[in-house]
């Protein structure tokens, strides 16, 4: 069931509370708990604070991409370009920093570059009537090519401490100086990427539930022709969704590159698949009209924890791909069963 | 006629490749008038109505609303001119509930620009109760409603707003007898309020009960426009099927009507 039009009480992260949560999200939440329990039993290091932080950081990138992807999927589309746009945005930010622009406007430029890529996707899809799959596949190559061309395929490093703050900093971090001069972290704090993810998730959930544009995004994905006849500006709605997806990919790119303090033009290959998987696991329907931000957040954590836990358990990257492939198929299969009349 | 008609469609054309779906059709509609639009399947009735509601761009011809030439590029333009449409396909977003569909594209908002779901629910409850007192499941996505309930939502959406012209493309196709009677009553009410109505229907009984005038299309062309007391059901049937009146009908009447249209 889509609860696109449920009252205010049920938007944002409050949707993670079982009451009123759809069956799909409940099963996803259960899967998440099982995963955590399983990995905790198999590896004691899994439950350490440090590993928790790693998971949060990994998930924040998947989560940001997944939120944008959810908007696009709810309109009935798909955005295959987010992994490449992520790289291009990081590269643009880094080049701006290298050119002497202060960090904050430089990162703003990176996010704007992402939004521009998204807007280009939206225009190609609505004006040229090219199917989203093809249009964003084109952008996937264009953005990756641009990122590699601009950098000559060489990572940009030496970006300075300020550039690393977004990805490595934390709120309420308590650090004490040891007598030997090395810092001792008493409380690691809440990483900025996690805070950023929370803010974006709440903001977009609010947008989807409480604002007209959100209603129109659902209507467009539900029945595009009906939405058009009802006076919804379908093209503008799609343009909005793709631009948001591009901007959020840009934001994710900046988080990632900031964490590495290096702009890697080859970063984020296949990240779009993680984002799609997060949205689908969270209950978004690839045929449009259905999806929630809280669901996508659960999906992002499932993917993030799965990757991390398998890593910790020493499972090879190849096997990880196989596992995640099966998880995605399983999630869509559950969706199919759920929708059977 | 003193006042300009509510709607004048003059020489409307719509071509799909070689097919002439609408072929030089001219019709008009006055205040407080119900005009029945009839024709065989594929005669071009829906196309003509979709052109008036801004959902389809005409290949040629002119539309005037109260004497003013207009050009609708999207359904919003027609809505702003006071033209509301009940589409044959209903045009509902399946995953949204009844209030969301009713206000789709014209959502009520709170002071802060948020969706005012409470106000929309309240208004929806009232207008739906007017059409079907048994309408309860307002919070369900409309995909889970019955065909008749869906049709009631589409009708409610068209009459809720400030309407001057109402286009009803087979509005009772999925309705039960009591709901059909309700819609008939509604049409009479709206006519009394001075609203002009185009009623597309295959139901001869409804047409003769409700309409002031019948207009018949055949293969995209207008083949007759008659005051309802000028013709019998058989005459209309003949127009629909053969595209002409029975042979014993005086030809003078027909040419007069064609000139009028
Ligand atoms: N989008 C379209 N593309 C191509 N041809 C179309 C399109 N829409 C309608 N037509 C054609 O135009 C003609 C008129 O169709 P229309 O829907 O107006 O018929 P109608 O009179 O409403 O019929 P019905 O009583 O079955 O509703 C048909 O021959 C149809 O095939
Ligand atoms: Mg029709």
Are residues B69 and B113 both part of a single domain? no
Based on the fold, state whether residues B67 and B156 are members of the same structural domain.
no
Counted domains in chain B = 2
B79 at interface of A, judged by CB pairs closer than 8 A = yes
Q: Which residue lies with its CA nearest to atom 5 of ligand 1?
A: B16
How far is the C-alpha of A85 from the C-alpha of B168, rounded, in Å? 47
If you average pLDDT over residues A157-163, what whole number do you get?
A: 90
Q: Tell me the CA–centroid distance for residue B169 and ligand 2, in Å.
A: 7
Q: Is B29 a member of any domain?
A: yes
B74 and B17 in a common domain: yes
Do B185 and B70 have their domain in common? yes
Supply B133's token pair: 């007192």
Which A positions 266-295 lie with beta carbon below 8 A of chain B? 289-290
Last residue of a domain, one of B112, B138, B161: B161
Tell me which chain A residue has its CA closest to the CA of residue B141. Answer: A2
Last residue of a domain, one of B161, B188, B215: B161
Q: How confident is the model at residue B257 (pLDDT cuts 50, 70, 90)?
A: low
- Residue B200 is inside which H or E element, if any? strand B196-200
Residue A153 in any domain: the answer is: yes
Q: Are residues B222 and B121 in the same domain?
A: no
User: Is the residue at B128 inside a domain?
Assistant: yes
- Residue among B72, B94, B96 with most chain A CBs within 10 A, to mutate: B96
Whether B13 and B73 share a structural domain: yes
Count of alpha carbons within 13 angstroms of residue B118, beta-carbon side: 4
User: Strands B221-227 and B213-218, how do they pair?
Assistant: antiparallel
Residues belonging to chain B? 261
Tell me: pLDDT of A15 over 50.
no
From chain B, pick out residues whose CB is under 8 angstroms from the CB of A6. Answer: 139
Confidence (pLDDT) at B65:
94
Higher pLDDT, A333 or B82: B82
**B180 has pLDDT over 90:** no
Domain count for chain A, please give it: 1
In a domain, B90, yes or no: no
Q: Which chain A residue has the Cα nearest residue B116?
A: A210
- Whether residues B12 and B130 share a domain: the answer is no
Q: Give the CATH number for residue B1.
A: 3.40.50.300
More confident of the two residues A263 and A5: A263
Whether B170 and B204 map to the same domain: the answer is yes
For chain B positions 58-77, those within 8 Å of chain A (CB to CB) are 74-76
Model pLDDT, residue A339: 65
- Of the residues B161, B177, B200, which one is the last residue of a structural domain? B161
Looking at residue A335, its pLDDT comes to 67
Half-sphere exposure of A204 (CA within 13 A, CB side): 31
Instruction: Give domain status of residue B36, yes or no.
Output: yes
Q: Considering only CB atoms, which chain A residues are within 8 Å of B114?
A: 210-211
Per the model's pLDDT, the better-predicted residue between A11 and B31 turns out to be B31
Residue B12 counted as domain residue: yes
**Is the confidence at residue A14, as pLDDT, over 70?**
no
Residues B104 and B52 in one domain: no
- Domain with B24, as residue range(s), is 1-82+163-231
Model confidence at A315: pLDDT above 80: yes
Tens digit of pLDDT for each residue in B132-158? Answer: 888 888 999 999 898 888 989 999 999
Contact A215, A50 (CB under 8 A): no
Pocket of ligand 1 (CB under 6 A): B 16, 19, 21, 39, 41-47, 88
Q: Which ligand minimizes its atom distance to the CA of B51?
A: 1
Cα(B139)–Cα(A177) distance, integer angstroms: 59
Interface predicted TM-score (ipTM) of this complex, two decimals: 0.87
The residue segments making up the domain with residue A267 are: 47-172+187-339
* A91-148 per-position pLDDT tens digit: 999 999 999 999 999 999 999 999 999 999 999 999 999 999 999 999 999 999 999 9
pLDDT (mean) for B195-217: 92
Are A222 and B93 inside 8 Å of each other by CB?
yes
Determine the distance separating the centroid of ligand 1 and the alpha carbon of A130, expressed in angstroms. 26
What mean pLDDT, rounded, does chain B reach?
89
Task: For chain A, give the mean pLDDT.
Answer: 88
Identify the CA nearest to B214 among candidates B49, B87, B74, B37. B37
Instruction: Note whether A89 and A254 are within 8 A (CB).
Output: yes
Report pLDDT for B244. Answer: 81
Q: Do B171 and B113 share a structural domain?
A: no
Atom of ligand 1 nearest to the CA of B40: 25
> CB contact, 8 Å: A11 with chain B?
no
Interhelix angle A192-210/A49-74, rounded to 10 degrees, is 30
Distance in Å, alpha carbon of A58 to nearest chain B alpha carbon: 33
The pLDDT tens digits of the residues spanning A228-260 come to 999 999 999 999 999 999 999 999 999 999 999
Cβ of residue A211 closer than 8 Å to a chain B Cβ: yes
Q: Does the residue A232 lie in any domain?
A: yes
Per-residue pLDDT, A249? 98
A80 is a domain residue:
yes
Q: What is the pTM of this model?
A: 0.89
Q: Give me the CATH number covering residue A326.
A: 1.10.3470
As a whole number, mean pLDDT of residues A299-304 equals 93
Local confidence band at B190 (pLDDT 50, 70, 90 cut-offs) = very high
**Higher-pLDDT residue of A325, B196:** B196
B261: confidence class by pLDDT, cuts 50, 70, 90: low
- Short-list B193, B128, B146, CA closest to B166: B193
DSSP string covering A123-192: HHHHHS---HHHHHHHHHHHHHHHHHHHHTT--B----HHHHHHHH-EET-EEEE-TTS-EEEEE--EEH
**What pLDDT digit, counting tens, does each position of A197-226 carry?**
999 999 999 999 999 999 999 999 999 999
Residues B62 and B41 in one domain: yes
Please compute Rg for chain B using Cα positions.
Answer: 19
Tell me whether residue B88 is in a domain. no
Q: How many CB pairs under 8 A join A and B?
A: 94
Which pLDDT does position A341 carry in this prediction?
59
Tell me if chain A has a CB within 8 Å of the CB of B167: no
Ligand 1, atom 24, residue with closest C-alpha: B41
% residues pLDDT > 90 (chain A): 61
Gyration radius of chain A's alpha carbons: 20
**B260 part of a folded domain:** no
Q: What's the pLDDT band for A13 if we cut at 50, 70, 90?
A: very low
A263 DSSP 8-state letter = B
- Does residue A21 belong to any structural domain of this protein? no
Q: Which residues of B touch A229 (CB under 8 A)?
A: 53, 55, 75, 85, 87, 91
Q: State whether B218 and B143 are in the same domain.
A: no
- B158: number of CA atoms within 13 Å, CB side? 34
């Amino acid at each position: 069931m889509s609860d696109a039009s449920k009252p205010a009480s049920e938007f944002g992260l409050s949707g993670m509370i079982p009451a009123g949560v759809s069956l799909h999200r409940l099963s996803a939440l259960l899967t998440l708990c099982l995963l955590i329990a399983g990995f905790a039993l198999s590896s004691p290091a899994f439950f350490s604070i440090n590993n928790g932080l790693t998971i949060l950081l990994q998930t924040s990138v998947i989560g940001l991409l997944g939120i944008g992807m959810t908007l696009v999927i709810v309109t009935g589309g798909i955005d295959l370009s987010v992994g490449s746009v992520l790289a291009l945005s990081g590269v643009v930010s880094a080049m701006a920093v290298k050119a002497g622009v202060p960090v904050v406007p430089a990162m703003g430029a990176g996010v704007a570059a992402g939004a521009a890529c998204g807007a280009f996707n939206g225009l190609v899809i609505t004006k040229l009537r090219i199917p989203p799959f093809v249009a964003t596949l084109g952008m996937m190559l264009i953005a990756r090519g641009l990122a590699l061309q601009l950098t000559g395929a060489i990572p940009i490093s030496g970006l300075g401490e300020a550039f690393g703050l977004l990805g490595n900093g934390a709120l309420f971090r308590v650090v004490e100086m040891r007598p030997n001069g090395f810092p001792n972290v008493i409380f690691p704090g809440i990483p900025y990427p996690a805070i950023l993810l929370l803010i974006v998730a709440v903001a977009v959930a609010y947008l989807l539930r409480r604002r007209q544009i959100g209603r129109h995004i659902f209507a467009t994905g539900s029945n595009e022709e009906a939405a058009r006849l009802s006076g919804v500006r379908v093209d503008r709605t799609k343009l909005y969704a793709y631009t948001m997806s591009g901007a959020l990919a840009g934001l994710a790119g900046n988080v990632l590159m900031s964490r590495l303090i290096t702009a890697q033009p080859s970063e984020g290959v296949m990240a779009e698949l993680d984002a799609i998987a997060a949205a689908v696991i969270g209950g978004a329907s690839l045929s449009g009209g259905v999806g929630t931000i809280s669901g996508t957040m659960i999906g992002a954590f499932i993917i993030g924890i799965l990757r991390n836990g398998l890593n910790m358990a020493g499972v090879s990257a190849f096997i990880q791909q196989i596992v995640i492939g099966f998880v995605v198929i399983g999630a869509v299969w559950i969706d199919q069963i759920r929708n059977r009349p | 006629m003193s006042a300009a008609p509510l709607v004048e469609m003059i020489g409307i054309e719509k071509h799909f490749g070689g097919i002439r779906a609408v072929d030089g059709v001219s019709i008009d509609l006055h205040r407080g008038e119900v005009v029945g639009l009839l024709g065989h399947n594929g005669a071009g009735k829906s196309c003509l109505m979709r052109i008036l509601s801004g959902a389809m761009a005409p290949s040629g011809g002119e539309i005037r609303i109260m004497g003013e030439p207009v050009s609708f590029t999207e359904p919003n333009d027609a809505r702003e001119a006071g033209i509301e449409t009940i589409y044959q396909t209903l045009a509902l977003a399946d995953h949204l509930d009844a209030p969301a569909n009713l206000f789709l594209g014209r959502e009520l908002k709170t002071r802060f620009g948020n969706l005012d779901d409470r106000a929309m629910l309240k208004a929806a409850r009232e207008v739906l109760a007017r059409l079907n007192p048994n309408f309860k499941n307002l919070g369900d996505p409309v995909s889970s409603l019955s065909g008749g309930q869906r049709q009631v939502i589409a009708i409610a959406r068209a009459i809720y707003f400030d309407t001057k012209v109402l286009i009803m493309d087979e509005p009772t196709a999925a309705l039960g007898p009591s709901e059909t009677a309700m819609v008939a009553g509604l049409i009479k009410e709206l006519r009394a309020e001075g609203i002009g109505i185009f009623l597309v229907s295959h139901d001869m009984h409804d047409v003769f009960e409700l309409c002031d005038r019948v207009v018949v299309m055949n293969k995209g062309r207008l083949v007759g426009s008659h005051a309802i007391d000028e013709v019998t059901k058989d005459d209309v049937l003949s127009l629909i099927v053969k595209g002409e009146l029975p042979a014993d009908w005086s030809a003078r009447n027909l040419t007069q009507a064609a000139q009028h249209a």
